Each structure stands twice: as C-alpha cells, then as structure tokens.
C-alpha cells in the first residue's frame, strides 16, 4: 500500500471517529431524544389531555389540515408530558419551540416523545412540513402555569 493511501485511510477513519463523537456529544449535551414509533391504534386518534398524577400528563395530539387538536394544552410547571402524535390526512410537522421537540405526524402511525416543562410560559407548537395552502396557520400552544393555590 502506498504512503498516500495509508494517510487517506487514517484521515478518513479519524474524521469518521470525530463525526461519531460529535453526534454522541450533542445527544448528551442537548438531551435530544429520538421519538418512539408505536403500532397504530385507533385509541390514539382522538385528541385529549389525560392527567395521570400531579406532575404527569399524556397528550394525544392529532394533526389535520390545518390545525392541531387539542389547540391549547394547560399544564402546571414541573410537569412531564408524554406526547402521542398522529395525523388524520397528510404528513405534518410537530415542533415545540424552545423544547428541542421535532416530530412528524404521519397518517396511520403514532409517534411518542416525553417532554419536561420546568419553566412557566407559552410554548408554541408549529407545523414545519408544508401541508397545503393553510399551512402557515397550523399552530397550537402548551401553556405552562404555576399551580393555583387551593
């Protein structure tokens, strides 16, 4: 083997190692998580918010032209939310601003991710996949408030 070939092979291996290291570093630093794909079940196709306990919620979000249902999701600060996402028609995007959540809503499929909301505020959900002429209006919100005193 020629010296130049050896250098190219070593350089290529070093570059691949750096790439893999960068991916693992970014995954751990930004706490990014890959959405889980679940087998399709009609129970997930009805939009709703379910409270499991004081800090745990399930949101069954359904995308359809040109809306997300439920459009407003109210939860207290410190809640952990399991988002189950599906579509009734075409492919839609599902991005929660400021929370590193980026999923696809696909007809006949269920995607799941878990998000913790530690700060109060309004987190916009937008569709980032062009889904038709009303796409720019496809929005929803997660509204995170302090629990009310009883």
Q: Could you read off the pLDDT of 70-125 as tens digits, one per residue? A: 999 999 999 999 999 999 989 999 999 989 899 999 898 999 999 999 999 999 99
Residues 20 and 83 reside in one and the same domain: no
Sort residue 9 into left (φ over 0), alpha (ψ -120 to 50) or beta. alpha
Residues 67-91 as b or e (16 or more Cβ within 10 Å = b): bbebeebebbeebebbbbbbbeeee
Residues 68 and 84 reside in one and the same domain: yes
What's the number of domains the chain is made of? 2
**pTM of this structure:** 0.76
| CATH code, domain with 77 | 2.60.40.420
- For residue 127, give the nearest of 117, 119, 118, 135 by alpha carbon: 135
Task: Give residue for tokens 């379910």.
Answer: 50
Residue 47, token pair as written in the block: 């939009």
Cβ pair 117, 123 in contact under 8 A: yes
Containing domain of residue 66, as a range? 36-145
> Per the domain annotation, does 150 fall within a domain?
no
């Amino acid at each position: 083997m020629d010296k130049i070939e050896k250098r190219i092979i070593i350089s290529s291996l070093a570059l691949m190692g750096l790439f893999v290291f960068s991916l693992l570093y970014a995954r751990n630093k930004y706490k990014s998580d890959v959405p889980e794909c679940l087998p399709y079940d009609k129970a997930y196709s009805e939009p709703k918010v379910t409270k499991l306990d004081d800090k745990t919620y399930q949101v069954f979000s359904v995308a359809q032209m040109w809306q997300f249902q439920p459009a407003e999701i109210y939860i207290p600060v410190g809640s952990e939310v399991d988002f189950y996402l599906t579509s009734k028609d075409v492919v839609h995007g599902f991005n929660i601003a400021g929370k590193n959540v980026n999923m696809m809503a696909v007809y006949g499929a269920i995607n799941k991710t878990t998000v913790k909301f530690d700060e109060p505020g309004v987190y916009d959900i937008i569709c980032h996949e062009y889904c038709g002429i009303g796409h720019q209006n496809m929005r929803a919100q997660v509204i995170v408030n302090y629990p009310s005193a009883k």
